[in-house]
Structure 1
Amino acid sequence: MDDTALDWRKSSFSGNGGNGCVEFARLPDGGVAIRDTKDRTQPALRYTAAEWTAFLAGVRAGEFDLT
């Protein structure tokens, strides 16, 4: 699927100040695509539904906390 056909959404934490952020779009197969808002010429990263679910579970469990 062409990335331009996806419904991209930006984080509500991004603001409009031009700071770096990411956008995500749900894929038809249940996966997720992630891209850099500042450089949309780069390909989006694509994750399966299972990969995305595992990542979110890790975030919620604190697996990626720096402290």
Structure 2
Amino acid sequence: MANMTLASNSEFKSRVSQLKKDIRSAQIKAAIKVNTELLRLYWRMGADICEKQKSASWGDGWLKELSREL
């Protein structure tokens, strides 16, 4: 019987609703942080690869080996 009264209590519903919004907001913020860090990593990797290409010899296979290792 206590569950029914809680489920119909508007203050309880409001708190649950706010908690759900807070959880969703935190999930979105976490996803944004992860994506930002991954983009930074990929940008650095791309810059490193471009820099290495400047000093690499044609056909030395370093890029193929790098892709195999990663």
TM over 0.5: no
Query: TM-score by structure 1 length?
Result: 0.23
Considering fraction of residues, name the structure with more helix: 2
Q: With CA pairs under 8 Å and 6+ residues apart, which has the higher RCO, 1 or 2? A: 1
Q: Specify the structure having the higher radius of gyration (Cα).
A: 2
Considering fraction of residues, name the structure with more strand: 1
